[in-house]
Amino acid sequence: PSNYENLIVGADTTVPLRNGRLVTAINFDNAATTPPFCAVMQEIMNFSPWYSSIHRGTGYKSQLSSHFYENARKTVGEFVNADLSKDTVIFVKNTTEAINKVAHSLSSTDEQPVVLSTCMEHHSNDLPWRRNYRVGYIDIDEDGRLNIEDLKYKLEKYNGSVKLVVVTGASNVTGHKNPIYEIATLVHQYNCKILVDGAQLVPHSPVEMKPHSSPQHIDYLVFSGHKMYAPFGIGVLVAPQTSFSTNPPDLVGGGTVDLVTHNQILWADVPQREEAGTPNVFGVVALIAAIKTLSQLDMKKIEYHEYRLMEYALMRMRQVPEVELYGDCIHLKNRVSIVPFNIKGISHDLTAKILSMEGGIAVRNGCFCAQPYVQKLLGIPDEKLQEHIQHPELPRPGMVRISFGLYNQIHEIDKLIALLWTITSNKQYYIDLYKDSPNFF
């Protein structure tokens, strides 16, 4: 584990501080995006001589690229233990596109089916369901963990009309992992299907879709390449092959059809009918290189390594006075390595700015595209937020989030902790110092 840092591009990038000094950048914003593996960039270079548009090209390069692209579905399927005799792997841009695709494919103009989402979802696993569905939200407890009793209650209450339960594998705010196999078992008892948003889970823990015959089977799984050491622009939707037969594809055009006349369209089979336009071959090459690297490293070992980072960070952060931590800080095995916090008396955006400008430490602050969840954790009632609609100039509530990748180091956490002590011991100094200070750019 000690040489994980050599696996990624940019581990030694230097950035300027406020005083002009250059320091090695510390990236604690991996829940947003992870840097690419060196092996991923190398594989893109290796593949470059074969760069070509796939599927209908007759040239050798095009045939080779097509072969690689189609075979990649198998590698992805194996990585998450999907049964590709029943499931299909669709390459998409990202998790957001994947979820919108499922929402489109299951929507119906005759009825408004019920989808049960949760109060801890990223907007990408909430907003797509607000169109064409009636959405019920499964509650959370005061630590931000999913309330399974409420799920049972709502499955019973809406029995017969719930089509799908959508749930994040791990929260991008608190890192809380949901018991997805337990939830799947419950959901299947009610004849519904389950979609797991794997954006924060797949890069950090082993994930298995389980056989279709198992009650624990995950029906839909979605995730993004850019959060698992591949570049932007590639993501995955694993779904039952049969789930795309009702509606026409969401995006239509080249690649989605088998036959077109002026008044007739015969759609292609999945996955092609769901991959409109020229496919992102380099994205898939990169994703496969990332998956192979992660598999070689062993997801269990990665999970344990990141758990140790989080455990250490939490232990040290607890000792800093006036640092408020959110989420369940006891059952750490049920979290991926994300730590949201605030410093009492300093706004989240100022804390994040100070960490960057005084320490070269990149974090994220705000509501992390999960506003209802963050509001609940902060104890802010909905009515209070109305003020922000009337007064957009008011500072918004939020948190600071650190999130680790496999390459992060204990000594980087030590630097964060030292800076947190400095900030909390000199709060007013920093508030005054940064009152009118600009950003770097």
Please state the closest distance from residue 264 (CB atom) to ligand PMP, in A: 34
Only segment of 93-101, 205-213, 294-302, 335-343 that touches ligand PMP (CB under 6 A): 93-101
Whether 369 is a known active-site residue: answer yes
Q: Is 30 in the site for ligand PMP (CB under 6 A)?
A: no
65, 96, 272, 365: which one binds ligand PMP (CB under 6 A): 96
Q: How far is CA 254 from CA 12, 72, 80, 102, 233, in A?
A: 43, 21, 29, 20, 19
Site mask for ligand PMP (CB under 6 A), range 356-395, x = bound: -------------x--------------------------
In the complex with ligand PMP, the residue whose CB is nearer, 210 or 226, is: 226
Catalytic hit among 119, 192, 367, 369: 369
Residues in the interface with ligand PMP (CB under 6 A) total: 15
Give exposure, 196-230, as e/b (b: 16+ Cβ within 10 Å). bbbbbbbbbbbbbbbeeeeebbbbbbbbbbbbbbb
CB closer to ligand PMP, 77 vs 169: 169
Contact 204, 166 (CB under 8 A): no
Pick the stretch among 74-82, 92-100, 158-166, 407-415 that binds ligand PMP (CB under 6 A).
Answer: 92-100
Q: How far apart, in whole angstroms, are the C-alpha atoms of residue 171 and residue 161?
A: 27
DSSP three-state, residue 223: strand
Cβ 317 vs Cβ 323: under 8 Å: yes
User: In the bound complex, what is the minimum distance in angstroms from residue 36's beta carbon to ligand PMP?
Assistant: 15
Which CB sits closer to ligand PMP, 26 or 199? 199
CA dihedral sign, ordered 290, 296, 300, 303 = negative
* 437 exposure class (CB count in 10 Å sphere: 0-12, 13-18, 19+): exposed
Helix (H) / strand (E) element for 300: namely helix 299-318
Asked if 29 is part of the footprint of ligand PMP (rule: CB under 6 A), the reply reads no
Q: Is there binding between residue 224 and ligand PMP (CB under 6 A)? A: yes
Q: Give Cβ neighbours of residue 241 (< 8 Å, ≥ 6 apart).
A: 86, 87, 88, 270
Q: Kindly state the smallest distance separating residue 430's Cβ from ligand PMP, in Å.
A: 28
Q: Which range of residues in 75-83, 194-202, 257-265, 307-315 is near ligand PMP by CB under 6 A?
A: 194-202
Among 100, 124, 178, 342, the residue binding ligand PMP under the rule CB under 6 A is 124
Q: Which of 43, 197, 219, 358 binds ligand PMP (CB under 6 A)?
A: 197
- Tokens in use for 288? 């496969």
- Which candidate, 412, 402, 410, 289, places its Cα nearest to that of 7? 289
**DSSP per-residue codes, 126-163:** THHHHSSSEEEEE-B-TTS-B-HHHHHHHHHHTTTTEE
**Between residues 193 and 226, which has the closer beta carbon with respect to ligand PMP?**
226
Q: Which is nearer to ligand PMP, 234 or 302 (CB)?
A: 234
Number of Cβ atoms within 10 Å of the Cβ of 277? 11
* Catalytic machinery residues: 369
Footprint on this chain of ligand PMP (rule: CB under 6 A): 31, 94-96, 122, 124-125, 168, 172, 197, 199-200, 224, 226, 369
